[in-house]
Each structure stands twice: as structure tokens, then as C-alpha cells.
A and B are shown apart, each in its own frame.
Chain A
């Protein structure tokens, strides 16, 4: 699959579990994003990595821990989550940095997370 891929597509976990979400982009982009999409809420930006450096943390609880080992991969490590964290987690990537350009964000298919 080309573009932005995410695994797993569905995840059910208990509150005491530790799991990780993975995102991979095949577009040669230099910026990657994690979003949370809950029912009846706008897409919420969680983290931004620009050239592998975290440049944005939108007041996200520490039970969510991002990792960006290189410009193509992004992880979201989860531990001791709460039921209200159940949502669709979307990864996106873009090419930022060219003067005058607009960096269209391309989304992955998302991971549907259910916390029991």
C-alpha cells in the first residue's frame, strides 16, 4: 500500500495494558502528525514531528508517548489508558519547508482504539 499506512487497524485493550500504534509514510515527507478523532468532536491534533523533532505537544496526557525514529515512521505508545481515550487515532504526513508551499496533509486509515 502506498501513501500513509497504520497498524493495527483495530485495537482493544484493557486499562492496564501497554500497546503501540505504528504509522509509516511512503511519500518522502518530513513532517508527521498524530490526531485523535472522537465522535461528535473535531479532529484534535496531538503531536507533530518535523524532521524527526517533536515540535508540538497539544497538552496530551503522559499516558500517550510518541516516538519518531526516522522521518518515515511514527509510533504512539499507550499505557494505562482510560475508557474515554477510546477513539480513532489518525496519523498524517506532509512536506513542510519549501518557501511559499502549502503542505497538504495526507492521512492514514486510522487505528480504531477501544479501551475497556
Chain B
């Protein structure tokens, strides 16, 4: 089955700095890679996702890059703010036709942004 490794497990940055979280996956058939943000005591929420036919996707201060050959993808947050502090999870799944998405999650990264 799929295995997703996520690094680092904790990340501390100063407000305004950039933060990068990296994930690797094992199953070359995986084609959908979402990122979830989970604030303390709250539910995971999708912040950005990327499909395997795209190499990069941006949404304001957040971007995700995908290297299919190396089987890794990364989350980039620029101009970090204290409200970006949360646990971030990457995930991978193979989505096709009528199938549901069986997400395999990484271990999570605790991001702390210091004012």
C-alpha cells in the first residue's frame, strides 16, 4: 500500500519568513495530493491540493510543488503569520473514475510562527 513520509515533524519560524514542509510517497500510481491544516482543537481543513498532471499550484501565500519522478511534493508558505500556526498534514491517494479517494496521510508537521 501507499506510504507517506512527512518532514519536519516540527517547524518554528519568525513572522514574515517562509516555511517549507516536504512529503515523499511510495506508490507511483498516486495522483492526488492534498494538504490539510488542523488548528488546535479543530477539524482538518483542506488548504490546497495538486493533481499529478500539474507541477505547481499557488493560492495567495500558499503553493504546492510536485515532483513525480522523485515522488515528493512540498508545501510552501510565504510571509508567514501567527495564524498560520497549526498542524499541517500531507496526503496521497489514487483517484480514478468511480473510485473514492483512500487518503494516506503523513505524520503531520507542527508549524509555529513567532510574532
Contacts and interface: CB of A to CB of B under 8 A. Distances in A.
A55 B101 CA distance: 11
B98 A97 contact: yes
Interface stretch (A11-19, A66-74, A78-86, A99-107): A99-107
Given A90-B43, A104-B34, A109-B42, A48 B100 contact: yes
Contacts of B73: none
B42 A43 contact: no
Interface residues of A, number: 26
A107 B44 contact: yes
Contacts of A56: 102
A42 interface: yes
Interface residues of B, number: 26
Interface of A: 4, 31, 40-43, 45, 48, 50, 55-56, 90, 94, 96-97, 99, 101-110
Contacts of A109: 42-43
Looking at chain A's contact residues, the main secondary structure is loop
16 contacts: A31-B100, A42-B89, A43-B44, A45-B102, A45-B103, A99-B97, A99-B98, A102-B49, A103-B100, A103-B101, A104-B34, A105-B101, A107-B36, A107-B44, A108-B43, A109-B42
Interface string B91-110: 00001011111111111100
- Which of B36, B101, B105 counts the most chain A CB atoms within 10 A? B101
Nearest to A106: B46
Contacts of B102: 45, 48, 56
Contacts of B34: 104-105
Contacts of A31: 100
B66 to A, nearest CB: 14
B28 interface: no
B45 A42 contact: no
A43 B89 contact: yes
Interface in B60-115: 89, 95, 97-108
